[in-house]
Chain A
Amino acid sequence: MTDIPREEYILKCTSACAGCSDSLTLRYVLKAAGPETVLVVPACCTSVIQGIYPNTAMNIPVYNVAFAAAAACASGMSAAFQAAGRKTNVIVYAGDGGTVDIGIQALSGAFERGTDFLYICYDNEAYGNTGMQRSGATPAGARTTTTPGGKAQTKKDLDAIVAAHNPPYMATACASYPKDLFSKVQKALSIRGPKFIHVLSPCPPGWRYSSEKSVEMGKLAVRSGMWILYEREFGKVTINRPSKAAMIRPVPIEEYLEPQGRFKGISPEALAMLRSVAERNAERLKREEEGIC
């Protein structure tokens, strides 16, 4: 594994919340991508953490664009770089709302067209920027400002939707495993065509846990099997080592849920839904890895 470079592309003056794993994720993404990179950011927490015009905390060009428009904007950018013969990485860095909800049409279009870009969805499982309203990515039972009694539906299966487009590379990641994240971004950028990385992004104010625990929350998500680290390269699935271990000896889901205020008082039905989604995802990935389906 390559060493993570010391260069920083996200400077020490962001307006991120304390303990924000979005900025941690972005730090490793940019270290992997390097300076010949443009970031396309739709409305999301990252729109804010860059700072206020005319200042910016980012040391690469960042194109901020309307909520539903990121993947389409990146399509145009990628085509323009191609027309100009420039080899510049185009990376969409979008939240879950801008990906699974309002941005999914543009995402689907860009993947279907085979756009040469990397789409990263950092997923804090709600509309964080506007104060934690439910999104399609909010898991069952989670309280948000628009699901005060806990969400009644399960989390939208974004990865299955993306997989249906047969991209050459897709993966999941989490900033609690920085080397894994770093190497996945590097690998993705070495491949032509549409690539996708889905990053779980624990959010202290949104999930209601204390802000020093973000790395730990990401690890608990993986160890409990609530978040599975894997890659799908040209259709071939590899479940990564931390999740392999978790499949053999998982920590109880409750250990992941308990520190999070959003799951406080979760109903047994919602808990069962969370458990069954996690089990279904694990089973499906295992079968895919073994080549059974």
Chain B
Amino acid sequence: MYEVRIHSRGGQGGVTAARLLALAAIRDGKYATACPFYGAERRGAPVVSYVRIDDRPIRVYSQIRHPDLVLVLDPSVMDVVDVLSGMKPGGRVLMNAGEPREMKGFPTCAVDLTGIALRENLVVAGSPILNTPVLGALAKMGVITLESAKMAIQEMFSDMRNVAAAEAAYRELVA
């Protein structure tokens, strides 16, 4: 089972990113679940969502303690949350940033999702959309295929700029 933990802030689309990733994995022919952890969070508070991907039906509902991949949509949460908590040996990090940072030796990829969203004019209520471009980055990292990523995005959003943004993130991922 492949387990992904997504860190973001309320309102940044972490829950939708989790659902898109699960949908893309299902389009790859896998089983997947997306479980947002709902607390008493409000807009702007750090939030976490989980995605599990497996070749068999998934029967685990508890939170992910030992992720294979940590996705940080907003690096500022790292000031208040230990995003590397419980990382599996060999686990990887994907960050919304121009350049990868040192993350205690865990292989880290970076992509400027915010920049891509602004470039593609993907802005809703003043906030750049991060959850569709991130699927391109996840495809580049081999978590899902780019085909399924695009399929998932189109199933949930009609605006084709989301697909273009995902393709951009696929191209621009820095390992």
Q: Does chain A touch chain B in the assembled complex, meaning CB atoms less than 8 Å apart? A: no
List B residues at the A interface (Cβ < 8 Å): none
List A residues at the B interface (Cβ < 8 Å): none
